[in-house]
Structure 1
Amino acid sequence: MYTIGIDIGGTKIKFGMFDEQNKIVKVEVIKTPKEAVLETMIETISAMGNEGEIQGIGIATAGIIDIEKGVITSAANIPAFVNLPLKTSLEMEFHVPVMIANDANSAALAEGNEGVAKKVSNFISLTIGTGIGGGIIQDNKLVHGTSGFGGEAGHMVIVHNGRTCGCGRKGCWETYASGRALERMIQENPALASKKMQPKDLFLNYNSNDACKEIIDTFVDYLSVGILNLQYTMDPEMIVVGGGVIDSSDHWWHLLQEKITATSTIPINIRQAQLKNDASMIGAGYLTKK
C-alpha cells in the first residue's frame, strides 16, 4: 500500500509515492497546469500506482486554504487551482482520504518525522524564501488554528506602521527578513542595483562590500527579532529554519547565532532544516497518516 504526497508550486508539481515506512519509491514532476487541473492531477496520480494500492493522498500547496473543505481559497501563483474542489474530487475518484495543507505546515511535518526535529514533540518550523512561512508542531501534532492560519509567522508585525506587505497589513516580518526583502534592499541601493546583484551576491560580498554587509546585517537583525518573538511566545524545544534562503547559510548562519545569543535571555535551540526542496512533498505524505 502506498501514500501519495504532492507539492504544488507555481511552476511545477512534485508527486511522491511513499511506502508504508514513508520511503520514497517513485517521484513524478510535471509543469503546473493552467487549465484542466483536475484532469491532470487525476491522470498523474493514476499513473503512479495501480487501483487499490493508494491508501491516502496529501497535498501541500502555497496560498490560503480552507482545511475543512479542502479548497485553496487564494493563491497568486496558482490561480487555476483556486476554489477547485480538490479534496472532494480526488476522494470521489480514488476512494481514499485526501488532506490539503499549507506547504510550510507540510515542511514542518516532514522535519518532525524525518528531519532535524525527529523525536522533538514541540517545535516551530520556518520556511524562508520569497516570503516567510511557518508550521507549529505541538505534542507531535500540526497546529492548524481555528481558521487554518496557524503558523503564519511571516505576517507577525515586527515594525509598527512599517512597510506594506502583500497581505495588506504594514510591518509584517516577511517584508523585512525574506528573499523578497533582500531584493527590495538591493533595488533601494543604486550602486548595487546597477550591478544587477542578486540576494546570493550580497552574502558572497559580505566581507568586501560595505553596502552588502549593511544589508545582510539588517536582514539578520530582523530575522533574529522574529525568531526570538516566537521563542518567547511559544517556548518550543526547537526552532527549525529552512527554505531557499538557507542555501546561503554558510555565509550568515553564524551571524544569526551570534545575534540571538547576544539578545536572548532564555535558552533557544535553533537548527537548520535538513530536507530542503523535498520537505513539503515528504510532509504531504504524512498528512493522511494517523
Structure 2
Amino acid sequence: MYTIGIDIGGTKIKFGMFDGVSKLVKEDQISTPKEAIVEKLIAAIKEMIQDQEIHGIGVASAGIVDFQNGVVRSCPNLDALANIPIQDMLEDAFHVPVVISNDANCATMAEGTAGVAKTVSSYICITLGTGIGGGIVHNNELVHGNSGYGGEVGHMILVPNGIICGCGRKGCWEAYASGKALERMISEAPELASKNYQPKDVFQNYTFDTSCKCVVDQYLEYLSIGLINLQYLFDPEMIVIGGGVIDSSKYWWSELEGKMAAASVPIVLQQAHLKNNASMIGASLLVKQDK
C-alpha cells in the first residue's frame, strides 16, 4: 500500500504516491484552483491512483494550520483555503486517515529525515516560494509554539511600517524576500517590467544586466538580513533553504553567502537536498508519525 503526500501552494498543488520512507513512485500537479480547491484535488488524486490501495494521506499546506482539527485557519496567499475542512473531506473521499500540517514544517521534517539536515539536531528550514515559510528544530524536536505559530518566520518584521504583507501587517520579511516580493520589485523597475521579465529571467541575466543586478542585489540583501537575524536568535547548527526560488540558486547562491559572511557569528548555510519536493515528502511522513 502507498501513502499520498500533498503539497498545497499558492500557485500549484503537487501530490505523489510514496512507498517506504521517501520513495516517490508517481507524482502529478495541478494549478491551484481559485475555488472548490479540495474537490478538484480529490478528482486529480483519484485519477492518479486509479485502483491502487493507499493507507493514508498527508497534507502540507501554506498558512496557519490547525493540526488538531485538520483545518487551515488563515492563508494570506490562498484565501479560498481558509477554514475548509480539508481533513474531513479527504477522509470521506478516500476512507483512510488524513493528517495536515504547515508546508514549511513538513519540508523541515523531510530534510531532517531524508535530506541535508539528517546529521544535525538543531536547524532551521526556510522555504522561499509565493511566501516565506519556516520550520525550527531544536534538539530533534519541531518547535510548534504555544498556539501553533512557531516557525512563522516570514511574518517577523523586517522594515517597520514598511510594505503591507498578505497577512495585513506592514514590513514582514515575506513582503521583501519571497517570490511574490521579487515579482513586485521587478514590476517597479520600468526597464524590466517593459520586457515582461519574470524572476527566472532576472536571475539568468543577473551578471549581464545592471537593472537585473540591482533588483537581485536588493532582494538578496533583504533575504540575508532575515537569515542573519534567525542565526543570532536561535543559533542553529544549520540553516537550510528550499522552495521554488531555490531552483535558480546557481545564479545567486555565492552572492548570498557573501552577504551572510557579514555576520559575526558562524553560519552554516545549505540548499535543501529534496528541493521543491520537500513539503510533499514531509507530508507523506506525517501519516507514518500519526500511526
Give the corresponding residue for 1:41: 42
SS of the aligned residue for 1:268 comes to coil
Give the corresponding residue for 2:236: 236
Aligned residue-pair number: 288
Distance in 2 between residues matched to 1:38 and 1:208, nearest whole Å: 46
Q: How does 1:1-290 map to 2 (within 5 A)?
A: 1-10=1-10, 12-29=12-29, 32=32, 34-35=35-36, 37-38=38-39, 41=42, 44=45, 48=49, 54-75=54-75, 81-91=81-91, 96-261=96-261, 263-290=262-289
Distance in 2 between residues matched to 1:256 and 1:43, nearest whole Å: 38
Give TM-score, length-normalised by structure 1: 0.87
SS of the aligned residue for 1:225 comes to helix
Distance in 2 between residues matched to 1:221 and 1:80, nearest whole Å: 32
Deviation at 1:272, TM superposition (A): 0.7
Distance in 2 between residues matched to 1:289 and 1:127, nearest whole Å: 23
- Residues 167 and 201 of structure 1, relative CA distance in 2, 3 Å threshold: same
Give CA deviations for 1:238-275 in whole Å, capped at 9, x if unaligned. 101111221221111111111111x2111110001121
* Contact 2:2/2:19 (8 A) holds in 1: yes
Give CA deviations for 1:15-66 in whole Å, capped at 9, x if unaligned. 3222234322333545656438358628835973879x54432111123321
Gaps of 5+ in 1: none
SS of the aligned residue for 1:248 comes to helix
Letter in 2 for 1:44: I
* Contact 1:37/1:80 (8 A) holds in 2: no
Distance in 2 between residues matched to 1:38 and 1:162, nearest whole Å: 38
Distance in 2 between residues matched to 1:187 and 1:108, nearest whole Å: 32
SS of the aligned residue for 1:222 comes to helix
Give CA deviations for 1:52-98 in whole Å, capped at 9, x if unaligned. x5443211112332121111223466555432323244446666542
Distance in 2 between residues matched to 1:24 and 1:240, nearest whole Å: 22
* Percent of paired sites with the same residue: 58
Give TM-score, length-normalised by structure 2: 0.87
* Contact 2:242/2:276 (8 A) holds in 1: no
Deviation at 1:205, TM superposition (A): 2.7
* Contact 2:56/2:287 (8 A) holds in 1: yes
- Residues 70 and 259 of structure 1, relative CA distance in 2, 3 Å threshold: same
Of the two, which has the highest radius of gyration?
A: 1
SS of the aligned residue for 1:287 comes to helix
Distance in 2 between residues matched to 1:151 and 1:36, nearest whole Å: 25
* Contact 2:21/2:285 (8 A) holds in 1: no
Give the root-mean-square deviation of aligned CA atoms.
Answer: 2.7
